[in-house]
Chains A and B, each alone.
Chain A
Amino acid sequence: MRITVRLFARLRDLAGSGELVRDLSGPATVKTVWQELVAEMPALGDYERTMSVAVNADYSKMSAPVNDGDEVAFLPPVSGG
């Protein structure tokens, strides 16, 4: 299955892109997506403790399942206002 990964703020800078397309084999969760990303780009790893995640523009959890066509977003701590 094919998913889109969205990265924001410093995570985007570290990855060099805010939008990545990834192909996954078999059942996957948000955590699977994250682990594959960190394997590719270890510099992102530190954010696991502080980030939030979203699936299809709704807050979600690392344990949530991911389906073909989903947009999975990793969000550093927010600083709006």
Chain B
Amino acid sequence: MARVAVTADPLDLPALTAELTGSGVGDGAVTTFVGLVRDHNQGRRVLFLEYEAYEPLAVRALNRIVDEAADSWPGTRLGVHHRIGRLELGEASIIIVAASKHRADAFAACRYTIERVKQIVPIWKHEHFEGGDVWLEGATADPEDAAAREAAHRIACA
């Protein structure tokens, strides 16, 4: 299984966890993050989401984040899968697995990854709610923006 993926298929956390942890007994910690489709957003009743990606660049950006995390927390290994297409309420949109010798690094790398995904990965949510639909727009993606990277790092280590 690829450690980084953008896929229309349902995400498989046990399989990605096994991929990250199957190779030895040196790890002391595995942390996971699962992002879910919520039934409300900014006062709107959400019906479902559609995710769109610029796939080759999204995969490239995810790999960049994995490399950044490996620099910050040496020895920590990461897997990130992001789903695209139509997602119903309660479904997982993203799964992240971080395996490390120590829990502090595993927690931090996991948190850093989701913060960076929201900053630089070219994926968009199209929210369909009761009464309409809207494209959500968050951060202007700039992987070279050192301040953004630093902000993600601060949150990860808070």
Residues of A whose CB lies within 8 Å of any CB of B are 6, 8-10, 12-13, 50-52, 54, 57-59, 73, 75-81
Contacts and interface: CB of A to CB of B under 8 A. Distances in A.
A52 B140 contact: yes
B143 interface: yes
Given A8-B124, A79-B124, A59 B141 contact: yes
Nearest to B59: A57
B114 A77 contact: no
Contacts of A6: 54
Q: Select the residue from A9, A12, A13 with max chain B CB neighbours within 10 A.
A: A9
B136 interface: yes
A23 B140 CA distance: 28
Interface stretch (B9-17, B69-77, B115-123, B149-157): B115-123
Interface residues of B, number: 34
Contact of A77 (B58, B93, B94, B138): B138
B125 A79 contact: yes
A78 B120 contact: yes
Contacts of B53: 80
Contact of B141 (A13, A57, A58, A78): A78
Contacts of A9: 52, 124, 126, 135, 137
Nearest to A13: B135
Interface of B: 35, 51-54, 56-58, 60-61, 82, 93-94, 114, 117-126, 135-144
A33 B22 CA distance: 48
Given A52-B141, A80-B51, 7 more contacts: A8-B124, A76-B137, A77-B139, A77-B140, A78-B118, A78-B123, A79-B125
A51 B123 CA distance: 13
6 contacts: A52-B122, A77-B141, A78-B123, A78-B139, A79-B124, A80-B121
Contact of A54 (B52, B54, B123): B54
Contacts of A13: 135
Nearest to B62: A80
Contacts of B122: 8, 52, 54, 75, 78, 80
Q: Select the residue from A12, A54, A57, A78 with max chain B CB neighbours within 10 A.
A: A78
